[in-house]
C-alpha cells in the first residue's frame, strides 16, 4: 500500500465509491504499478540481479526462455518477454496491490519481487522529495520577495526622514497644532485683558505692552500655522507622502509574516503528507513450484492430438466415401 501519514479513513460514501473502483488516492499507487512494468524497472533489475541470465539460461526450455532462440536478442525483446512473468493487481476496496513474479527458481522469484518493491519505494521517495522541494522552493521565493519589498520600504522611509529632517510628520503636526491651540488661548486671554484695561483706564501704560504681546502672539500663530499648512514646505504634503511610505512598510511586514507562515506550513505539510510504501505481506519463496503444470500440459497435448486425429479421420473417411460413389 502507498499511504500518507495524514491519510484519513474514507467516509461511507468514499468507501462505496472505492467499492465500485473510484478511488481518489490511487495516483501514487498506480505510479508504482507503472514503474514495476516499465523499462526502467527492468534496467534496474539488469544492473542489480542480472535477470537476463536468470531468464535466458540454457537449461530453460526454448518456449519459456527469454529471449527465445528464434527471437530478436535486443533489450526490447527481453523486456516484452519479461512482462509475461510479472503481474500487478490492485484491490480498490482495500487499497492493497499485489505483485506476483514468476521465475525458474523460488529464490530468484523472491529476489526479483523484493527488488521491484525496493524500486517502488525509491520512486515514492522521489515523489516525496520532488513535492516537498517544489513547495518549499515556491514558499522560499515568496518569502525572499516579501523581504526585499520590506527592505525597500524601510529604505524609502529612512530616506524620507533624512531628506525632510523629521521622524514623523504626523506627530510633528500634532505637536504644532497643540502649540497653536495654546498660543490662541494665550492670545484670547491677552485680548480680553486688553479690552478690560482699555475700558477701565484708557490712558494706562499697560495698553502698549499688551498690544506688543498680542502682536507677537499673532505672528507666532501665523508662523506655526504656515509650518503645518499653506506653504510649499509645510507638513501637510509631507504627511501624505509619509503615510504612503508607512502603509507600504506595514503591508510589507504583513507579507513577510504571511510568507513566513506559509513556509512553515509547507515544511509541516511536507512532513505530514509524506508518502510511504507499506509491505502488507513480504515476498516469500514458494515451497514447491506451481509452474509448469506438466500433467495438465500433457493431457492438453494428448486431447488436442485426439481431436486433430478425429478431424483427420473424418476428412479421409468423407474423401473415400465420395470416391466410392
Which one, of 160, 152, 139, 141, lies nearest residue 248 by Cα? 152
Q: Which residues, in sequence order, are bridge partners of residue 97?
A: 90
Give the span between the Cα atoms of 232 and 226, in whole angstroms.
9
Cβ–Cβ < 8 Å for 130, 275: no
Query: Could you identify the residue written with the cell 508662523?
Result: 223
Q: Taking the domains of the chain in order of start, what are their residue ranges?
A: 2-137+275-293, 150-272, 294-325
Which grid cell sits at 164?
525632510
pTM: 0.54
Question: How much is the pLDDT for 135?
Answer: 75
pLDDT tens for the 325 residues of the chain, in order: 887 765 554 444 444 444 444 443 467 888 899 999 999 999 999 988 888 888 887 777 777 777 777 777 788 888 888 898 999 998 888 888 999 998 888 888 999 999 999 999 988 888 877 777 777 888 888 889 999 999 998 898 888 878 777 777 767 666 767 777 777 788 788 778 778 777 777 777 777 777 788 788 777 777 766 665 656 556 666 777 778 888 888 999 999 999 898 888 877 776 665 777 888 888 888 777 777 777 888 899 999 999 999 999 988 888 887 777 6
132 vs 122: CA distance, rounded Å: 15
CB 66 within 8 A of CB 82: yes
**Which has the closest alpha carbon to 35: 103, 102, 126, 107?**
126
Report the distance separating Cα 77 and Cα 68, nearest Å: 9
Residues 6 or more apart from 218 whose CB is under 8 A from it? 187
Amino acid at each position: 500500500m502507498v499511504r500518507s501519514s495524514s491519510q484519513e479513513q474514507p467516509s461511507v460514501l468514499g468507501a462505496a465509491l472505492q467499492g465500485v473502483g473510484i478511488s481518489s488516492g490511487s495516483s501514487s499507487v498506480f505510479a508504482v504499478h507503472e514503474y514495476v512494468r516499465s523499462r526502467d524497472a527492468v534496467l534496474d533489475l539488469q544492473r542489480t540481479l542480472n535477470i537476463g541470465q536468470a531468464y535466458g539460461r540454457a537449461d530453460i526450455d526454448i518456449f519459456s526462455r527469454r529471449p527465445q532462440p528464434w527471437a530478436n536478442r535486443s533489450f526490447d525483446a527481453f523486456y516484452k518477454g519479461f512482462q509475461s512473468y510479472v503481474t500487478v493487481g490492485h484491490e480498490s476496496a482495500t487499497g492493497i496491490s499485489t505483485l506476483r513474479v514468476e521465475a525458474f527458481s523460488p529464490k530468484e522469484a523472491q529476489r526479483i519481487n523484493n527488488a521491484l518493491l525496493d524500486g517502488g519505494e525509491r520512486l515514492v521517495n522521489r515523489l516525496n522529495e520532488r513535492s516537498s522541494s517544489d513547495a518549499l522552493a515556491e514558499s522560499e521565493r515568496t518569502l525572499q520577495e516579501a523581504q526585499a519589498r520590506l527592505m525597500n520600504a524601510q529604505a524609502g522611509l529612512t530616506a524620507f526622514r533624512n531628506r525632510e529632517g523629521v521622524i514623523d510628520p504626523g506627530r510633528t503636526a500634532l505637536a504644532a497644532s497643540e502649540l497653536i491651540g495654546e498660543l490662541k488661548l494665550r492670545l484670547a486671554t491677552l485680548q480680553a485683558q486688553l479690552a478690560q484695561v482699555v475700558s477701565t483706564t484708557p490712558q494706562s501704560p499697560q495698553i502698549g505692552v499688551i498690544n506688543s504681546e498680542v502682536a507677537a502672539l499673532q505672528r507666532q500663530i501665523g508662523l506655526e500655522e504656515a509650518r503645518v499648512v499653506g506653504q510649499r514646505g509645510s507638513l501637510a504634503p509631507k504627511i501624505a507622502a509619509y503615510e504612503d511610505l508607512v502603509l507600504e512598510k506595514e503591508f510589507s511586514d504583513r507579507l513577510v509574516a504571511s510568507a513566513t507562515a506559509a513556509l512553515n506550513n509547507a515544511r509541516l505539510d511536507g512532513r505530514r503528507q509524506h508518502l510511504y510504501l507499506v509491505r502488507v505481506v513480504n515476498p516469500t519463496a514458494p515451497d514447491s513450484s506451481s509452474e509448469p503444470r506438466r500433467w495438465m500440459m500433457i493431457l492438453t497435448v494428448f486431447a488436442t492430438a485426439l481431436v486433430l486425429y478425429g478431424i483427420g479421420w473424418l476428412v479421409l473417411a468423407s474423401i473415400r466415401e465420395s470416391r466410392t460413389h
